[in-house]
Amino acid sequence: MKLRLTLLALIICSALQAQKHFDRFNTIDIRHYQFEIELNDDNDKIEAKATVTVKFKKDATGFDLDLTSKTDDKGMTVSAVNEGDEKVSFTHNQGKLTLNTTAKAGDIRHYEISYSGVPATGLIISKNKHGDRTFFGDNWPDRGRNWLPIVDHPSDKATVEWIVTAPSHYQVVGNGSLVERTNLSDELTLTHWKTRVQLPTKVMVIGAARFAIQQAGEVSGIPVSSWVYPQDRQNGFYDYALAVEIMDWFINHVGPYPYAKLANVQSKTQFGGMENASNIFYMEASVNGQRTSEGLIAHEIAHQWFGNSASEANWHHIWLSEGFATYFTILYREQKYGKTAAAEDRLTDRNQIIAFNKRQSVPVVNTAIENYMQLLNANSYQKGGFVLHMLRKEVGDQVFWQAIKTYYDQYKLSNALTEDLKEVFEEASGKDLDQFFQQWIYTAGHPDIELNWQYKDGLQVLVDQRQNSTFQFPLEIEVIYQDGSSQRETLQVNKEKQAFSIKTDKKPAKIVLDPDTNLLFEGKVTGR
């Protein structure tokens, strides 16, 4: 009972952290965004109009959108807000655009917001490695507000369309399907993209650059394309073509692809890759003609299911996005390259988790973090992924894949918290997983084991947990004998200090902890 109450308290704490967002969600639901953006080569100022479709959940006299105010020479200035032919009064300061409008519960209204300015971030306007001017959206986690009037939170999803007017030497990529591309004049081209399903704002973006574009293939009726700088055309098409087989694997193992296309885009993102829905942006160096970015491509494609479609309900549960993408990259590599390669990946991840924990020992779901960029750490990625692997070992492969498909199907195009994942796995496995999630997700650290053995009337083993909290886990050991033979035993560890006896008539030469890298721990072996 104490364990359940502790877990409940952590969930309530996480919910309270997001209360300021949920208060707004109790009033409005954004159904659709239409962004009309004008780009130019003379300066970094954008001219824009956003049409925001809002459904009111209750009677209201106004609502807020997130939009960074102008400070010095950066930020956005709103010139007008209209509902049809009627002007709507508004205030815009401290990053909040407040629309003073009266509405009844159930009303669906459309507001046109005219604005302009130079984005401080969110839309990155710069030059690529070849010196060519580029425009790339880079919204994660909540930087979209720097150039778009939105509810900038992962749990408020909406459909989106982009109508971008840009100099004609640029090609423009955006979320969803291409609706229109029109040469307005010799100098300007209009490009229109539109989604049919809802997205979180963190992955609503456009990219505009000089591109070479190739249709790399089609998977289950979904077109897969490569967008690379013309100077990198040959290498980029070769490197990004890997996406076709990767996407096929995910469709077969998780479920139908949730979007209309997959465009793999060489870009100026500050990240190694950014999983924008249906148009992934990769760092420029991902193209080299040697296919060294296969793991990166698999990671970002995994996000199309986990993070984009089934999204974390708030940022503190980001491991439901990054941990999934990390582990599913390993699962893809396990299928392609074998179990040894996957074990090597997990060993690398485990070492990174241990190193991070020595610098900062915090739980995976850490509601104390307010700067969301700090969530991009080994806890969210490598530890989250390792927890999924241990969960797979806990319930078995068949139940694991059944639960994964159920979880995705239940929360696709929606949002989930860690508790939702736990409940799906409990139902699929018939197991109580409170202890598992409490120690691996809500407790800081990991087991630090010292195993001492001696050979006397058989093999006597003492396992000592040296970390602050006592964990419960299966510890597999491999006993290697002096004649070269070996045997494996699984010790069910659930106490701070625990003794085990293993029948054998041969003296061991050594004992290896966790020979297949299935457990997140650090430790050493002593004995004679």
pLDDT at 10: 45
pTM as predicted = 0.94
Q: Looking at the structure, do residues 109 and 139 belong to the same domain, yes or no?
A: yes
Q: Looking at the structure, do residues 386 and 370 belong to the same domain, yes or no?
A: yes
Query: Taking the mean position of all CA atoms in its chain, how far away is CA 93?
Result: 31
Instruction: Report how far residue 67's alpha carbon sits from residue 144's, in angstroms, rounded to the nearest whole number.
Output: 8
Residue 219 lies in a domain: no
Residue 183 in this model has a pLDDT that exceeds 60: yes
Q: Which of 375, 371, 365 is nearest to 418 (CA)?
A: 365
| Residue 457's pLDDT band (cuts 50, 70, 90) | confident
The 8 Å CB, 24+ separation contacts for 137-140 are 137/204, 137/205, 137/206, 137/207, 137/276, 137/281, 138/205, 138/268, 138/269, 138/270, 138/271, 138/274, 138/281, 139/201, 139/202, 139/203, 139/204, 139/205, 139/276, 140/202, 140/203, 140/271, 140/274
Count CA atoms closer than 13 A to 465's CA, side-chain side: 19
What's the mean pLDDT in 126-138? 98
* CB-neighbour burial class of residue 402 (10 A; exposed 0-12, middle 13-18, buried 19+): middle
What's the mean pLDDT in 143-154? 97
Residue 516 in this model has a pLDDT that exceeds 80: yes
What's the mean pLDDT in 79-99? 97
Q: Looking at the structure, do residues 196 and 95 belong to the same domain, yes or no?
A: yes
CATH of the domain at 501: 2.60.40.1840
Q: Residues with Cβ < 8 Å from 351, sequence gap 6 or more?
A: none
Residue 278 lies in a domain: no
What's the mean pLDDT in 145-154? 97
Token pair of 5, please? 């109450």
What's the mean pLDDT in 92-111? 97
CATH of the domain at 198: 2.60.40.1730
CB 66 within 8 A of CB 152: yes
* CB-neighbour burial class of residue 484 (10 A; exposed 0-12, middle 13-18, buried 19+): exposed
Dihedral angle sign, alpha carbons of residues 289, 290, 292, 295: positive
Residue 15 in this model has a pLDDT that exceeds 50: no
pLDDT at 1: 39
pLDDT at 354: 98
Q: Looking at the structure, do residues 383 and 329 belong to the same domain, yes or no?
A: yes
Phi, psi of 120 (to 5 degrees): -70, -30
Instruction: Report how far residue 14's alpha carbon sits from residue 507's, in angstroms, rounded to the nearest whole number.
Output: 52
What's the mean pLDDT in 434-462? 96
Q: Residues with Cβ < 8 Å from 299, sequence gap 6 or more?
A: 273, 325, 326, 328, 329
Q: Looking at the structure, do residues 60 and 126 belong to the same domain, yes or no?
A: yes
Domain region containing 68:
29-210
Residue 317 lies in a domain: yes
Q: Which of 237, 304, 242 is nearest to 275 (CA)?
A: 304
Residue 185 in this model has a pLDDT that exceeds 90: yes
Instruction: Report how far residue 434's alpha carbon sits from residue 452's, in angstroms, rounded to the nearest whole number.
Output: 30
Instruction: Report how far residue 51's alpha carbon sits from residue 496's, in angstroms, rounded to the nearest whole number.
Output: 60
Q: Answer with the one of 440, 459, 475 that is the final residue of a domain.
A: 440
| Residue 7's pLDDT band (cuts 50, 70, 90) | very low
| Residue 2's pLDDT band (cuts 50, 70, 90) | very low
pLDDT at 44: 98
Q: What percent of the chain shows pLDDT beyond 90?
A: 94
| Residue 25's pLDDT band (cuts 50, 70, 90) | confident
Token pair of 345, please? 């990946």
Token pair of 325, please? 């993408």
Q: Looking at the structure, do residues 143 and 64 belong to the same domain, yes or no?
A: yes
Dihedral angle sign, alpha carbons of residues 199, 67, 99, 162: negative
Q: Which of 75, 78, 146 is nearest to 112 (CA)?
A: 78
Query: DSSP string covering 74-104, please?
Result: BEEEEEEEEETTEE-EEEEETTEEEEE--B-
Q: Looking at the structure, do residues 423 and 453 belong to the same domain, yes or no?
A: no
Residue 240 lies in a domain: no
20-34, 69-83, 173-187, 373-387, range with the lowest pLDDT: 20-34
Residue 51 lies in a domain: yes
Q: What percent of the chain shows pLDDT beyond 70?
A: 96
Domain count, the chain: 3
Q: Looking at the structure, do residues 456 and 435 belong to the same domain, yes or no?
A: no
Q: Answer with the one of 192, 210, 228 that is the final residue of a domain.
A: 210
Q: Which of 169, 161, 244, 163 is nearest to 211 (CA)?
A: 169
Residue 237 lies in a domain: no
What's the mean pLDDT in 27-36? 98
Q: Looking at the structure, do residues 484 and 420 belong to the same domain, yes or no?
A: no
Residue 3 in this model has a pLDDT that exceeds 80: no
- The residue with greater pLDDT, 417 or 505, is 417
Residue 461 lies in a domain: yes
Residues 168-179 have pLDDT tens digits of: 999 999 999 999
Q: Looking at the structure, do residues 455 and 375 belong to the same domain, yes or no?
A: no
Count CA atoms closer than 13 A to 404's CA, side-chain side: 26
Q: Looking at the structure, do residues 365 and 474 belong to the same domain, yes or no?
A: no
CATH of the domain at 425: 1.10.390.10
Whether the link from the prior residue into 119 is cis, omega within 30° of 0, is no
- Residue recorded with tokens 């709507």: 88
Residues 251-274 have pLDDT tens digits of: 999 999 999 999 999 999 999 999
Q: Answer with the one of 210, 239, 256 that is the final residue of a domain.
A: 210
Q: Which of 402, 409, 467 is nearest to 429 (CA)?
A: 402
Residues 219-259 have pLDDT tens digits of: 999 999 999 999 999 999 999 999 999 999 999 999 999 99
Instruction: Report how far residue 392's alpha carbon sits from residue 300's, in angstroms, rounded to the nearest whole number.
Output: 22
Q: Looking at the structure, do residues 436 and 481 belong to the same domain, yes or no?
A: no
- Rounded to the nearest 5 degrees, what angle is found at the Cα of 254, between the Cα atoms of 252 and 259? 90
Residue 137 lies in a domain: yes
Token pair of 428, please? 């699929």
Residue 109 vs residues 28, 81, 183, 512: alpha-carbon distances, Å: 11, 13, 32, 65
Query: Taking the mean position of all CA atoms in its chain, how far away is CA 451?
Result: 37
